[in-house]
Structure 1
Amino acid sequence: MPARHQGPTIGRRRLRAALRRAREAADLTQDHVARQMDWSLSKLIRIESGSVSVSTNDVKALLDLYGVRDHQQVAQMVELARAARRRAWWSGYKDRVPPAYAAYIGLEADAAVLQYFQPISFPGLLQTEEYARAVIPADGPHHVPAAEIESRVQIRLARQHAVLHGADPPQIEVILDEAALRRVTGGTRVLREQLRHVATMCARTGITVRVLPFTAGSNTVLGPFVILRFADHEDGDVVYVESALVEEIIDRPADVRSYQHVFDRLRAESLSPADSVALLRRIAEELG
């Protein structure tokens, strides 16, 4: 796996796990720690869930309470706290998107490998600007108000620039249901340019696209998901799921393994990368 920098999201994930392990090793409950630190219980819960950052002074105080005296271990955890508080390019967008999506953007920025399954559309990192504008839902459970659509498009383009054109881009593997290639999102011209764009992107090192053809039979995996893998084994894989009713980050190892199993099965049923690109170009030609 390619090496990756350590961004604020990864720093926070590592810190929350390390602090929780240190508390449990000290045989202290969350209630006891909250009382000793003169905090609300909810503050400690948010710190250990990674939903908020924690100051370096608070980290030192927690480690002292937990009896952690090793200077190197303390220094490492203090550095994690610093990393978790650094401002990333996407920090300014956090108030404009749902919390789960904001968390996903942070994880995506630090991922070494991204594995997508998309049953009805193309992944955001591979979308043209016009396709991105057309595919953002204007109605339904995840609808975006008309006034915010342009902001979402700009966020998507910023993600593409940061992830695809950075110094250390991740490996990207995409499985597209053939339905995504034939759904005329935004009109014939927009879809044609989207198909050509993805075919061109496949020529880049580190980007692989496979199509799950209609001839593969019934597809029972109806919702899109993304598996995010990280360079350091300490940073467990996660899955981002977006359905009609929920957007969710899943990091339970057993559940992540289940998604990986599904992805591997879909890959085995899909066309080869070369045949997939050929199909993309053929459908684009059929659109005129």
Structure 2
Amino acid sequence: MARKIGVIGGSGVYDIDGLEGAEWRSVDTPWGAPSDQILTGRLNGAEMAFLPRHGRGHVHSPSTVPYRANIDALKRLGCTDVVAVSACGSFREEMAPGDFVVVDQFIDRTFAREKSFFGTGCVAHVSVAHPTCPRLSAACLTAGRAAGITMHDGGTYLAMEGPQFSTLAESKLYREVWGCDVIGMTNMPEAKLAREAELCYASIAMVTDYDSWHPDHGAVDISDIVAILTGNADKARNLITRLPALLGAPAPCADGCDRALDHAILTAPSKRDPAVVARLDAVAGRVL
């Protein structure tokens, strides 16, 4: 099986430069339409698929992003690895606006989203103890540093529902009590769904602001965020162009991301709802 890199672009990252044979493709999924068409092509010899998470022109809020359709569509196109980039606030002085953080943990505080492909008719439980792929994350870290980006290795991402930014009390709680490093609105349930779909997943948090905890920076201001987003988008594209050479030839994931469903499905074969199983053809066809 050939390696194919899927990229989910966050706020401000709506395309990738330099794709050979670039084509915007519509993909139908049992979970509805993805956020947008998917830009496919080749980049430095590797097959790529790029999906703007909010849609071109930023039409989806964090709560209305069709997360299941997005992950299904990338899997359906043959993606093996997914790199998610997203704008985030920082809880750490040293993680400054313009820096990137390679996230390795999440705290999920979202509540208005469908979080699983599975349910009544076909029940499954996957482990997300380590929700990102160490190999893919390491490649992103190396690519970012080679591109001259200030990269931070590891961090806990607080996923909030939004669309409003944090209150000061929430910001202090997440930073001082829970020990989070960055805050965003879109990596959950995305990371959980990627694990259910047996995709290697890496999360790159592009810091735009200090949330509301910082005594010298005041409340989050959207105009300031937009200014940082522009620079971050260019950095993200530069990072992505370096990934194909670092990832190399396809191989089984050493951490088992591509085998997450081996022992996850609990519903007996005779009790599985055929309609539910049919809907899982791309996500779980390997085991169903």
Point out the structure with the larger strand share.
2
Report the TM-score, using the length of structure 1 for normalisation. 0.29
Report the TM-score, using the length of structure 2 for normalisation. 0.29
Structure having greater relative contact order (Cα 8 Å, sep ≥ 6):
2
Q: Is the radius of gyration larger for structure 1 or structure 2?
A: 1
